[in-house]
């Protein structure tokens, strides 16, 4: 069994567990929604909301990421399955890629929902002059940002999973590390929806940043995950 | 990170059965050609700063079912986890299936199955999905998986039940089915009878007996002295991190 | 004691009882460096506060920079040492724990220096710009650097054996080497318009008066000596802590073996079990 096949197996298993338990759909997505609503309470002016909406979407994504990561490792901790995978000598790289893949899929669903919420609650819209270009930019942004977030989340989630007090360690490690994604994704989306006069073409440099980050995170994570979760 | 290696690498196990010849007290039976599966000599293992194993020596042949007895805190769990390749060997020598635990404990893991206080199962998935998952990580075929399930008695009416809904005994047997599907040669069971009712324990023993007959080597840590006495071929008492009595030794001296 | 198998000698090397314990972490070397640091700091005070002139624009508040700039440089040095030591631990054959101790001590000192940099910088900012903080690239990156290494130190305290701690921290140290440049680059992109009067302009800015440059130089020397002094003491203290745990292990081994011996007295005696006081694992 090669690494990729085992990774797919693990990703499928994770998604199957989520399909059965529906924790992310029933709890995390509503949490993200409530976060968006809370932002509206805190930033009461419509013009302010307009300007910062892209940033708020990614901010809500970051916070939800922390929760989904804890969930993805909680299913392993429930009955000692991650331990069992380590005992069984399953290739840690496969575990990393598999879990990151499943995490990424769930993140994409989350982001789509958050964009929808932004359209509804914050009145965001795509300028009609260049819908296609904007949509392409948006989708690319989502994909590249999600890769980076999933990789970093899985890496630090695995590290923190084994220890007491890990619920606070995870945010401490993850949030500084994903600053590039927060910056890049926000700017790219601002370009896509034309916030503050940003133009679509400006967005692609940020996608470049996101892609570099994603590559570094996936490669670095795959290498580091094994030693980090090992005894 | 040169120490990383996949369990599927083709590294030949180092022949380190010298530990067998040096074993103290002549505990090893006098048959150099016997298949020594576990060879521990003067092993020290620490949990934090505490020496859970304080110089433990043990030799186990293939196909044996060894009962580990001893009071709480004696180090039975630590011994099992060490044999699974989960803990570093602080001092002494240790080898499992020819793999040197000091330097190659990662390589031991695919061949060894540890069933501790937890079962290593995904509670939201069914029995079949769990066994399939574990089996597929080593490339087991559908027949192997089905056979593993039926041998451990969790096929038929249980196979599509979510693990969450099973009784403790059924979860244990599911876990064992996963071990079989994974083709583990050495089974390390930490108090598998705990939490089971009488019927559950009977079923478990029958299952273990079956597994041993098919060639698995089993170490069972258990408080169930009377019961496991029938199952085990050998009984080893562990106290304060060392082996203090070994029925092999006693038989040898008679 | 366990018989030492020669084949495992290198495995057991660090477990051998070492030379008799020292009473303190000071040696002739650290005394010399310490005195050097004090002298250099004295010079710094003399030049920084006294001999060097006030700046044309910033007046007296420029003097803060003689502390502020060296501390951030030393912090960068400290984190580089952490990264290099982490790499040495991971990739060397022997995996000596000394590398891990160096990485940890250097990170601790680095974090302290960054904290000083930020605090002192905030004072300077208040005096020159009128604000304690600005969201420019350099400041933001420095703040993120600070938080990142706080995370590193938190991971160091997660527990486990020395080797586990060392491996985990070393991997994290290497991750930081990748993380920090990425964060820095993205923040720079974010704030691609620099402000004119930032600290950045003063690093080696040849427009500075000769005496001011000299004071800065003295500051760098003083803080470098301080860094070395702190490193020596801290790594030695860590080594002694580790040694203490090792000795604790030997004593605990003896106690545990005695426990076993005590409970294997004649099986008819049932009172022996009450003498065991070892903690449950």
Element (H, E) at C217: helix C210-263
* A206 interfacial to chain C (CB closer than 8 Å): yes
- The answer to whether A60 and A122 have CB atoms below 8 angstroms apart is no
Q: Are B93 and C5 a contacting pair at CB < 8 A?
A: yes
B113 to chain A: which residues are within 8 Å by CB? 87-88
In angstroms and rounded to an integer, the radius of gyration of the C-alpha atoms of chain A is 18
Interchain contact A173–B (C-beta under 8 A):
no
Q: Which residue of C has its CA nearest to A172?
A: C151
Q: Which chain B residues have a beta carbon less than 8 Å from that of A231? A: 86-88
Neighbours of chain C (3+ CB pairs under 8 A): A, B
Q: Which residues of C touch B75 (CB under 8 A)?
A: 281
Instruction: Please report whether residue C4 resides in a domain.
Output: no
C114-135 residue pLDDT tens: 999 999 989 888 888 888 888 8
The beta-carbon neighbor of C178 closest among A209, A220, A227 is A220
Q: What is the pLDDT of residue A173?
A: 94
Domain count, chain C: 1
Q: What is the dihedral of CA B227, B229, B231, B233, to 10 degrees?
A: 170
B-chain residues near C259 (CB < 8 A): 239-240
pLDDT of residue C28: 82
**C-alpha angle A105-A110-A116 in degrees, rounded to nearest 5:** 130
Q: Is A219 an 8 Å CB contact of chain C?
A: no
Backbone angles phi, psi at C122, to 5 degrees: -65, -40
- CATH 1.10.3720.10 is right for the domain spanning B32-253: no
- What is the tens place of the pLDDT at every residue in C43-62? 888 877 777 777 766 677 77
Report CB contact under 8 Å: C160, B48.
yes
What the block records as the tokens of B35 is 């298949």
Chain B within 8 Å of A78 (Cβ-Cβ)? yes
Q: What is the pLDDT of residue C22?
A: 64
- Please indicate whether residue A10 or residue B6 has the higher confidence score (pLDDT): A10
| pLDDT confidence of residue B105 | 83
Mean pLDDT of C166-179: 91
What is the nearest CA distance from A76 to chain B, expressed in angstroms? 7
- Where chain B has pLDDT below 50, the residues are 1-33, 252-254
Residue C117 lies in a domain: yes
Q: Which pLDDT belongs to residue A69? A: 94
Please report which confidence band the pLDDT of residue A155 belongs to, taking 50, 70 and 90 as the band edges.
very high
Mean pLDDT, rounded, for C139-146: 92
Helix (H) or strand (E) holding C242: helix C210-263
The Cα–Cα gap between B8 and B15 comes to 19
* pLDDT at site A68: 94
**Pick from B85, B83, B90, B88: nearest CA to B42:** B90
Q: Cα separation of C106 and C231, whole Å?
A: 6
Question: Quick check: B201 and B222 in contact, CB under 8 A?
Answer: no
Residue A7 Cα, gap to closest chain B Cα (Å): 9
| Interface residue B5 vs chain A (CB under 8 A) | no
Mean pLDDT for A184-201 is 85
Confidence of residue C231 (pLDDT cuts 50, 70, 90): very high
Is A98 a residue whose pLDDT tops 90? yes
Kindly identify which residue of chain B lies nearest to residue C88, measuring between CA atoms: B1
> Does the distance separating the beta carbons of C245 and B90 come in below 8 Å?
no
Q: Which pLDDT band holds residue C19 (cuts at 50, 70, 90)? A: low
Residue A60, sorted as left (phi over 0), alpha (psi -120 to 50) or beta, turns out to be: alpha
Answer yes or no: are the C-beta atoms of B222 and B193 closer than 8 Å.
yes
Q: How much of chain A is helix, strand and coil, in % rounded to 5?
A: 90, 0, 10
* Beta carbons of C263 and B244 less than 8 Å apart: yes
Give CA separation, A163 vs A158, A173, B207, C158, C250, in Å: 10, 14, 35, 7, 27
Q: Give the CA dihedral B48, B51, B55, B56, nearest 10 degrees.
A: -80
Q: How long, in residues, is chain B?
A: 254
pLDDT band at residue C84 using 50, 70 and 90 as cut-offs: very high
pLDDT recorded at residue B111: 87
Residues of C in contact with A155 (CB under 8 A): 175
Distance from CA of A118 to the nearest CA of B (A): 33
Interchain proximity C159–A179, CB inside 8 Å = no
C7 within a domain of the structure (yes/no): no
- pLDDT confidence of residue B9: 27
Which chain A residues contact residue B174 at CB under 8 A?
none
Nearest to C63, CA basis, from C3, C123, C133, C152: C123
Domain assignment of residue C164, given as a range: 31-54+64-242
Q: What is the pTM of this model?
A: 0.81
* pLDDT for position A175: 95
Residue-range definition of the domain harbouring residue A200: 3-229
B15 at C interface, C-beta within 8 A: no
Query: Would an 8 Å CB–CB cutoff place A213 in contact with chain C?
Result: yes
Please list, in sequence order, all residues whose beta carbon lies within 8 angstroms of the beta carbon of residue A77, skipping any fewer than 6 positions away.
A161
Contacts of A224 in chain C (CB under 8 A): 171, 174-175
Interface contact C178-A159, CB threshold 8 A: no
C contacts of B88 (beta carbons < 8 Å): 161, 163
Show the tokens assigned to B162.
């979510």
Sort B251 into a burial class: Cβ within 10 Å, 0-12 / 13-18 / 19+.
Answer: exposed
Mean pLDDT of C270-281: 42
pLDDT range class, residue C17, cuts 50, 70, 90: low
Gap between the Cα atoms of B197 and C41, Å rounded: 75
Chain A neighbors (3+ CB pairs < 8 Å)? B, C
Whether residue C230 lies inside any domain: the answer is yes
| Among the partner residues C15, C91, C264, nearest to B244 by beta-carbon distance | C264
Q: Is residue C107 part of a domain?
A: yes
Residues in C closer than 8 angstroms to B92, CB to CB, are 2, 8
**Confidence class for position C206, pLDDT limits 50, 70, 90:** very low
- Residue (of B180, B184, B179, B158) closest to B169 by Cα position: B158
Partner residue opposite C256 with nearest CB, options B1, B54, B71 = B54
Residue A47: predicted pLDDT: 79
Query: What are C66-78's pLDDT values in tens digits?
Result: 888 889 999 999 9
Domain locations along chain B: 32-253
B127 Cα to chain C: minimum distance (Å): 32
- Identify the closest residue of chain A to C146 by CA–CA distance: A176
Average pLDDT score over chain A: 90
Whole-number pLDDT of residue B19: 38
Q: Is A169's Cβ below 8 Å from some Cβ in C?
A: yes
The H or E element spanning position B50 is strand B50-61
Q: Distance (Å) from the C-alpha of residue A227 to the closest C-alpha of chain C?
A: 7
When CB atoms are compared, the residue of A173, A184, A227 closest to C171 is A227
- Which residues from chain A sit within 8 angstroms of residue B190, using beta carbons? none
Dihedrals φ, ψ of C18, to 5°? Answer: -85, -160
C175: nearest CB among A183, A209, A220: A220
Instruction: Say yes or no: C119 contacts chain A, CB-CB below 8 A.
Output: no
Closest CA to B151 of B201, B211, B103, B194: B211
Q: Is the pLDDT of residue C251 over 70?
A: yes
When pLDDT is averaged across residues A81-107 and rounded to a whole number, the result is: 91
Please check the confidence at residue A122 and state whether its pLDDT lies above 70: yes
Residues contacting residue C217 through CB under 8 Å, at least 6 positions apart: none
pLDDT more than 90, % of chain C: 28
Helix (H, G, I), strand (E, B) or coil at B221: strand
Write down the pLDDT at residue B184: 87
Relative to beta strand B186-190, strand B112-115 is: parallel
How much of chain A exceeds pLDDT 90, in percent? 59
Q: What's residue C203's pLDDT?
A: 46
pLDDT at site B230: 63
Gap between the Cα atoms of A45 and A54, Å rounded: 15
Q: Rounded to an integer, what distance in angstroms lies between the CA atom of residue B130 and that of residue B122?
A: 7
Please report the DSSP string for B120-177 in residue order: ---TTSBHHHHHHHHHHHTT--HHHHHHHHHHTT-SGGGTTSBGGGS-HHHHHHHHHH
pLDDT at C263: 66
């Amino acid at each position: 069994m090669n690494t990729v096949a085992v990774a797919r197996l693990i990703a499928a298993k994770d998604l199957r567990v989520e399909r059965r338990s529906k924790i992310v759909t029933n709890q995390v997505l509503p949490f993200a929604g409530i976060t968006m609503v809370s932002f509206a309470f805190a930033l009461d002016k419509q013009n302010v909301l307009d300007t910062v909406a892209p940033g708020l979407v990614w901010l809500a994504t970051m916070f939800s990421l922390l929760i989904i990561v804890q969930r993805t490792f909680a299913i392993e901790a429930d009955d000692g399955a991650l331990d069992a995978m380590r005992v069984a000598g399953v290739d840690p790289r496969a575990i990393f890629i598999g879990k990151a893949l499943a995490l990424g899929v769930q993140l994409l669903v989350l982001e789509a929902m958050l964009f929808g919420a932004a359209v509804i609650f914050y009145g965001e819209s795509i300028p009609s002059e260049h819908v296609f270009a904007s949509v392409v930019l948006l989708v690319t942004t989502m994909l590249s940002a999600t890769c980076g977030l999933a990789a970093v989340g899985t890496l630090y989630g695995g590290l923190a999973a084994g220890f007491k007090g890990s619920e606070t360690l995870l945010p401490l490690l993850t949030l500084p590390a994903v600053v590039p994604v927060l910056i890049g994704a926000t700017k790219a989306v601002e370009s896509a929806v034309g916030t503050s006069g940003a133009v679509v073409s400006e967005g692609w440099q940020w996608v470049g940043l996101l892609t570099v980050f994603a590559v570094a995170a996936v490669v670095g994570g795959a290498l580091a995950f094994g030693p980090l979760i090992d005894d | 990170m040169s120490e990383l290696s996949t369990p599927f690498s083709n590294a030949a196990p180092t022949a380190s059965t010298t530990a067998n010849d040096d074993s103290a007290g002549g505990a090893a039976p006098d048959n150099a050609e016997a298949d020594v599966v576990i060879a521990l000599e003067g092993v020290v293992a620490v949990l934090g700063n505490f020496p859970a194993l304080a110089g433990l020596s043990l030799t186990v042949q293939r196909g044996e079912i060894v009962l580990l007895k001893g009071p709480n805190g004696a180090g039975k769990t630590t011994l099992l986890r060490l044999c699974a390749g989960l803990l570093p060997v602080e001092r002494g020598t240790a080898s499992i299936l020819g793999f040197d635990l000091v330097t190659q404990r990662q390589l031991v893991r695919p061949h060894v199955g540890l069933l501790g206080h937890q079962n290593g199962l995904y509670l939201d998935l069914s029995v079949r999905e769990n066994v399939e998952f574990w089996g597929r990580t080593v490339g087991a075929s559908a027949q192997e998986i089905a056979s593993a399930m039926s041998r451990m008695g969790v096929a038929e009416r249980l196979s599509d039940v979510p693990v969450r809904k099973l009784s403790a005994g059924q979860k244990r047997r599911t876990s064992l089915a996963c071990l079989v599907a994974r083709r583990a040669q050495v089974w390390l069971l930490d108090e598998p009878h705990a939490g089971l009712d009488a019927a559950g324990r009977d079923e478990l023993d029958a299952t273990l007996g079956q597994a041993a007959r098919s060639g698995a080597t089993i170490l069972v840590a258990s408080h169930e002295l009377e019961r496991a006495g029938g199952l085990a071929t050998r009984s080893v008492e562990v106290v304060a991190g060392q082996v203090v009595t070994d029925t092999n030794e006693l038989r040898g001296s008679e | 004691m366990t018989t030492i198998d020669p084949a495992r000698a290198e495995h057991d090397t660090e477990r051998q009882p070492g030379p008799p314990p020292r009473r303190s972490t000071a040696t002739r070397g650290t005394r010399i460096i310490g005195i050097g640091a004090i002298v250099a700091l004295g010079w710094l005070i003399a030049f920084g506060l006294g001999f060097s002139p006030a700046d044309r624009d910033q007046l007296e508040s420029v003097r803060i920079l003689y502390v502020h700039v060296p501390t951030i440089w030393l912090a960068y040095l400290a984190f580089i040492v952490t990264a290099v030591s982490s790499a040495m631990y991971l990739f060397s054959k022997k995996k000596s724990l000394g590398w891990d101790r160096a990485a940890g001590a250097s990170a601790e000192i680095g974090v302290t220096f960054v904290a000083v940099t930020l605090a002192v910088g905030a004072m300077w900012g208040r005096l020159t710009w009128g604000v304690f903080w600005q969201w420019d690239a350099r400041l933001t990156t420095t703040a993120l650097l600070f938080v990142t290494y706080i995370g590193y130190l938190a991971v160091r305290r997660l527990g486990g054996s020395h080797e586990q701690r060392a491996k985990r921290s070393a991997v994290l140290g290497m991750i930081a080497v990748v993380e920090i440049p990425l964060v820095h680059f993205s923040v720079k992109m974010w704030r691609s318009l620099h402000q004119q009067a930032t600290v950045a302009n003063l690093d080696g800015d040849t427009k500075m008066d000769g005496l001011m440059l000299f004071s800065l130089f003295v500051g760098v020397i003083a803080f470098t000596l301080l860094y070395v002094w702190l490193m020596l003491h801290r790594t030695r203290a860590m080594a002694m802590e580790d040694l203490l745990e090792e000795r604790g292990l030997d004593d605990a081994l003896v106690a545990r073996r005695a426990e076993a011996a005590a409970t294997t007295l004649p099986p008819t005696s049932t009172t022996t079990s009450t003498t065991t006081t070892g903690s449950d694992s």
